[in-house]
């Protein structure tokens, strides 16, 4: 039996989770607080280290720490590169090294969508799947790939960037610089705009009330997501697709067009056997996945 701490840092909240691993992993405790961004990256890192020290003081036997963050990271060096959604200058911040020094235990950095994927595969909607695509829908569109029951990292840890595949060759500009990325077509504000609503919550409410434009918006954005998912199914043959993040609350409004698009486009495998589901771990998936990542290293 071993215990591991995972922290999930976003622009709004910092969540943490302690897991216990025997044969099956199990969630021991969790916590959430507002991310301290007033002094940019220094205040975020200071808060991360403080939270970890507090959890270590209250919990016996924690062996390692995982930190999940959105954006571009160098996971093998434990250093951040580019994090557009948390205030601060993030290029070259030694998050894993500072954490290891602070708590005296091995520490690892992981992209938050990869952490989501690990968590849902290990303890959520992806349990038992040999291969799985994880998709996070929120401010951006993230992803992760499980192949042969393991998270696939690829060259420099960049595998699984589901949201930055090109869907429309001359589509809208993406935050990454490319045009027509899936993220530019299906992130939160793109969905809200397609639905003619100020935000995603309003868009979901409008669609559920039968608003024709909102229904059309979810159908169109779900279709783009389904095209992206079809490409992944054709390329690597995943047997399960798990959707998480804030917009996953839309449920069938998005899952239905994704399934329809898979059936329309995938010809190389029996796509009725590819299960598309929402995540089961809610807001804790990122922290749980960061802890699982630490426990795997």
Question: What's phi and psi for 49, nearest 5 deg?
Answer: -65, -40
Based on the shown chain and the rule CB under 5 A, indicate whether residue 215 belongs to the binding site for Zn ion: no
**Planar angle of CA 232, 260, 111, nearest 5 degrees:** 35
Based on the shown chain and the rule CB under 5 A, indicate whether residue 276 belongs to the binding site for Zn ion: no
Which residues 6-45 are close enough to bind Zn ion by CB under 5 A? none
DSSP 282: G
Token pair, residue 165, equals 């595949």
SS3 86: coil
CA-based max dimension of the chain:
56
Write b or e for each residue in 240-266: b if 16 or more Cβ atoms lie within 10 A of its Cβ, otherwise e: bbbbbbebbebeebbbebbbebbeeeb
Q: Which span (113-121, 127-135, 161-169, 282-290) binds Zn ion, by CB under 5 A?
A: 161-169
Angstrom distance (rounded) from CA 41 to CA 125: 33
Site string for Zn ion, 175-194 (x = CB under 5 A): -x-x--x-------------
Of 126 and 140, nearer to Zn ion (C-beta) is 140
Of 2 and 178, nearer to Zn ion (C-beta) is 178
Radius of gyration of the chain (CA): 19
Site string for Zn ion, 105-124 (x = CB under 5 A): --------------------
Q: Which span (74-82, 159-167, 227-235, 277-285) binds Zn ion, by CB under 5 A?
A: 159-167
Based on the shown chain and the rule CB under 5 A, indicate whether residue 293 belongs to the binding site for Zn ion: no
Based on the shown chain and the rule CB under 5 A, indicate whether residue 164 belongs to the binding site for Zn ion: yes
Based on the shown chain and the rule CB under 5 A, indicate whether residue 141 belongs to the binding site for Zn ion: no
Minimal distance, residue 274 CB to Zn ion, in Å: 25
Based on the shown chain and the rule CB under 5 A, indicate whether residue 168 belongs to the binding site for Zn ion: no
Count of beta carbons in the 10 Å neighbourhood of residue 182: 28
Of 143 and 217, nearer to Zn ion (C-beta) is 143
Minimal distance, residue 181 CB to Zn ion, in Å: 3
Q: Which span (87-95, 173-181, 226-234, 258-266) binds Zn ion, by CB under 5 A?
A: 173-181
Closest CA to 80 of 65, 68, 67, 91: 91
Q: Which residues bind Zn ion (CB under 5 A)?
A: 164, 174, 176, 178, 181
């Amino acid at each position: 039996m071993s215990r591991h701490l995972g922290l999930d840092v976003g622009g709004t909240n910092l969540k943490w989770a302690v897991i216990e691993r025997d044969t099956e992993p199990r969630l021991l405790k969790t916590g959430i607080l507002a991310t301290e961004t007033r002094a940019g990256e220094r205040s975020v890192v200071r808060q991360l280290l403080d939270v970890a020290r507090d959890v270590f003081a209250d919990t016996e036997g924690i062996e390692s720490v995982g930190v999940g963050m959105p954006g571009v990271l160098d996971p093998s060096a434990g250093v951040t590169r580019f994090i557009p959604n948390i205030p601060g200058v993030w290029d070259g911040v030694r998050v894993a090294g500072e954490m290891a020094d602070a708590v005296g235990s091995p520490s690892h950095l992981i992209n938050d969508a990869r952490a989501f994927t690990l968590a849902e595969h290990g303890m959520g909607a992806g349990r038992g799947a040999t291969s799985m695509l994880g998709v996070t829908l929120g401010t951006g569109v993230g992803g992760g790939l499980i192949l042969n029951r393991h998270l696939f990292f690829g060259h420099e840890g960049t595998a699984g960037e589901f949201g930055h595949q090109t869907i429309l060759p001359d589509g809208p500009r993406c935050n990454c610089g490319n045009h027509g990325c899936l993220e530019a077509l299906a992130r939160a504000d793109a969905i809200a705009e397609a639905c003619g609503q100020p935000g995603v919550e309003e868009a979901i409410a409008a669609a559920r009330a039968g608003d024709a434009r909102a229904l059309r918006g979810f159908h169109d954005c779900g279709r783009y997501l389904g095209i992206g998912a079809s490409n992944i199914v054709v390329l690597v043959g995943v047997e399960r697709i798990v959707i998480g993040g804030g917009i996953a609350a839309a449920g069938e409004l998005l899952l239905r067009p994704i399934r329809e698009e898979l059936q329309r486009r995938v010809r190389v495998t029996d796509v009725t056997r590819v299960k598309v589901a929402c995540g089961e771990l809610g807001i804790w998936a990122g922290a749980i996945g960061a802890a699982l990542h630490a426990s795997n290293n």
